[in-house]
A and B are shown apart, each in its own frame.
Chain A
Amino acid sequence: MVSAPANDASVVVEELVKRFGTFTAVDRITFAAYKGEVFGFLGPNGSGKSTTIRILCGLLRPTSGRARVAGFDVASNPEAVRQHIGYMSQKFSLYNDLTVIENLRFYGGLYSVTGALLKERITWALRMAGLEGREDSMTRTLSGGWKQRLALGCALLHRPPIVFLDEPTSGVDPLSRRRFWELIQQMASEGVTVFVSTHYMDEAEYCNRLALLMRGRMIALGTPSELKLGAVKGDLMVLEADSLPRAIEAVKPLPQVRDVAVFGNGLHLVVPDARTAAVAVRDAMAAAGVGILRLEVIRPSLEDAFVALTGRAVDSEQEAGR
């Protein structure tokens, strides 16, 4: 675990559990996040990302465990938590029947931002969202990227020290996505703690640290490079061949190959030793009569790490089941 001075921790989560009936959405999650950090939740749909974020915003009550945000307990003092956070829900939740400026003024009022400061923050939000000159446009007429940035602007009007963004870029065009991440990096550089959930691997690379979630469990936690190196034990090789199905058949039984997974138009092989594995793979492919287009050692990507880690989690679950 990362150790840092306790007063630097913006968010501390201990053994957090959330059950809906018999379904466990969040299963004993423990971590801490620090000031100025971009902390990512990575995982497939239903892995508990949104639920965890909602608990941290005081919108859901934890079943057990503890979570402190900005020094306040989310279960016993959710109002104090709400003073210190900005939240952007997964589904767009501003008022479509208000104009851009009306939405901003409304949230300014709710966060008690007034006078010159409100004016300044609204100007900032409009510039940040690229909505200058469109103050009086009806919010429903905006495109996805604009809506997302407006929602971010509303959530940041009161300059919260901690921000929770639940899949902020889902359904947004690539250009807007990149722009959004620049905004996130900028906020973090100003000392804001940013929580982001995503299921895009490329976005996860931008995070300082990542929590990998699967079925409510946190299966890994670390920087993107820590995860990549730690997850893939051994070397990672890419194999491209004439026929993928026959290539899989040929290399899978080899003792020199630990794991085979399809990636794009090739195979990723996890091997204990690249040199001996390369020889074995070439022999096996020649024996099967499949032509090799490419065989080389590559650096593992976050996706490789994710596949390896989730695969390992499934294995250990099955063992526990037995």
Chain B
Amino acid sequence: MNWRRMLALARKESIQIRRDWRSLAVVLLMPVMLMTLMGYGIALDQTDVPLCVYDREGSQLSQDLLKSFVSNRYFSLKLDARDYRQLVTAVDGGVCTVGVVVPLYFSKLLNAGRPATVQAVIDATDNNTANLIIGYTQAVVARFSAAVQLDYQQRRGPALGAPSLGLQARTWFNEDLESRNFIVPGVVALVMAVIGTFLTSLTIAREWERGTMEQLVSTPVTAAEVIAGKLIPYFVIGMTDAATCAAISGWWFEVPFRGSVMTLFVSSAVFLIGVLLLGFLISALSRTQLAASQFALLTTFLPAFLLSGFAFPIDQMPIAVRAVTRIFPARYYVTILKAVFLKGTGIEPLFAPMLAMALFAAAVGVGAVRGFKKTLD
């Protein structure tokens, strides 16, 4: 490795990047665009679920229950039905996603210390949303039930044999159970993987297309020097993008940041070098920019989206697929980002995923140097 030749390449590449300011602006604004798009687009929380109620009893207690549905941000009342048919029509017609029916004798049963059942009709066309709504509905009913029970016990004294075992769950790291806190670090990894690979995947193919590569390879420059030299300016751009992503996560999406900036910096650098080198590998193997960009998207976006544990939990994947996720560095970066942002984990417990990312970078780097041919055949 001749550092003079490498620096000559780095300088030349930097000049070209600076001169092509439109592309530079796109590359610097891309994280802002992708972060907002995906940060808002992939919200797993449901708020203001359209609700329809049918109170068959019309007592104080039944009205209290229905109020407790409306008094939080998860539901929003769309219709107070006069009969059951009207409620069913509302759910069928998509006016409401959930219908809650309070039965007759609701307050009488409760006042007598006997269980009463509330019916919920849920539009489960989107099963994911339906599951969330079931959870919210159960939570509202459970809280109401607890209050009723407490009230009953205060009036009557502890009932003999009444179960008094309850679970006090405390959620750690994401106390508000905000799905955004969980998703945004994943989005950062996704954005960095896509941008990183995209940045470099075009550079070598572009030189083949323009014919400048023929002159370049006739000089004594080596493959490693070409790749290292071109890597330097793109690394600077990539780290700027990483900082943008982190800033948007913290200040715009208000994801708590509990770890150290240093850990974030080091892990981002290792991940970025890996994806930049992956771009070079793709670029070295395909001699047209079109093929390179398509291949880059295929090898980064899909694995980073599907196999990183960002959208789908890795623990619940089939064993074979779980093994495949280990190849892609996005998985490790997502793990590290979640730990750094939400748990405030230091650098030492993250040694294993860090090493995995470094190994990926090394393997892809060797592949890129080997794949870069200095001949025209």
Chain A residues in the interface with B (C-beta under 8 A): 54, 57-61, 78-79, 82-83, 85, 87-89, 91-98, 102, 105-112, 114, 151, 154-155
Q: Are A57 and B219 in contact (CB under 8 A)?
A: no
A98–B15 CB distance below 8 A? yes
Whether a CB of chain A sits under 8 angstroms from the CB of B164 is: no
- The residues of B with any CB-CB pair to A shorter than 8 Å are 2, 4-5, 7-9, 11-12, 15-16, 19-20, 210-222, 374-377
Contact of A111 among B9, B16, B212, B220 (CB under 8 A): B220
Whether A106 contacts B377 by the Cβ 8 Å rule is no
Query: Once the chains bind, are A106 and B11 in contact (CB under 8 Å)?
Result: yes
- Given A97-B19, A110-B5, is A89 in contact with B374 using a C-beta cutoff of 8 Å? no
Residues of chain B contacted by A114 (CB below 8 angstroms): 4
Which of A95, A109, A114 lies at the interface centre, i.e. has the most chain B CB atoms within 10 A of its CB?
A109
Asked if A92 meets B219 with Cβ closer than 8 Å, knowing A58-B375, A98-B16, A109-B7, the reply is no
Q: Knowing that A93-B215, A109-B4 are A-B contacts, what are 4 other residue pairs whose CB atoms are under 8 Å apart, sorted by A's residue number? A: A59-B218, A91-B211, A94-B215, A95-B16
Complex Cα gap A88–B218 (Å): 9
Which residues of chain B are within 8 angstroms of A88 by Cβ–Cβ distance? 215
Take A78-B374, A95-B16, A98-B16 as given contacts and tell me if A106 and B211 are in contact as well, using a CB distance cutoff of 8 Å.
no
Contact residues in B for A112 (Cβ distance below 8 Å)? 2, 4-5, 220
Kindly state the separation between the CA atoms of A154 and B217 in the bound complex, as whole angstroms. 14
Write the chain A residue with the least CB distance to B217: A59
CB-defined contacts of B11 to chain A, threshold 8 Å: 105-106, 109
Q: Are A91 and B2 in contact (CB under 8 A)?
A: no
Selected from A92, A97, A102, A105, the residue in CB contact (under 8 A) with B211 is: A92
Chain B residues with CB under 8 Å of A95's CB are 12, 16, 212
Q: In the complex, how many residue pairs between chain A and chain B have their CB atoms under 8 Å apart?
A: 87
B219 engages A107 (CB within 8 Å) = yes
Complex CA gap A154/B215 in Å reads 10
CB–CB A89/B214 < 8 A: yes
Docked complex Cα distance between A54 and B376 (Å)? 9
For chain B, what secondary structure do more than half of its interface residues adopt (helix, strand, loop), or is it mixed?
Answer: helix
Contacts of B20 in A (CB 8 A): 97
Show 13 residue pairs from A and B whose CB-CB distance is below 8 angstroms, ordered by the A residue. A58-B218, A59-B376, A60-B375, A61-B375, A82-B220, A93-B213, A95-B16, A96-B210, A97-B16, A102-B15, A106-B11, A109-B7, A109-B8
**Quick check: B15 and A85 within 8 Å, CB to CB?**
no
Complex Cα–Cα for A110 and B229 (A): 11
Contacts of B220 in A (CB 8 A): 79, 82-83, 110-112
Asked if B12 contacts A102 (CB within 8 A), the reply is yes
CB-defined contacts of B15 to chain A, threshold 8 Å: 98, 102
- Please state if A87 and B218 are interface contacts (CB–CB under 8 Å): yes
Residue of B2, B7, B15, B215 ringed by the most chain A CB atoms within 10 A:
B215
Nearest-neighbour CB distance to chain A for B273, whole angstroms, equals: 23
Q: From residue B221, how far is it (CB to closest CB) to chain A in Å? A: 5
Are A60's CB and B376's CB within 8 A? Answer: yes
B213 contact set on A, CB distance < 8 A: 93
For residue A78, which residue of chain B has the nearest CB? B374
Contact B4 A94 (CB under 8 A): no
Residues of B within 8 A of A110 (CB): 5, 8-9, 216, 219-221
Taking each of B2, B8, B9, which has the highest tally of chain A beta carbons within 10 Å of its own beta carbon?
B8
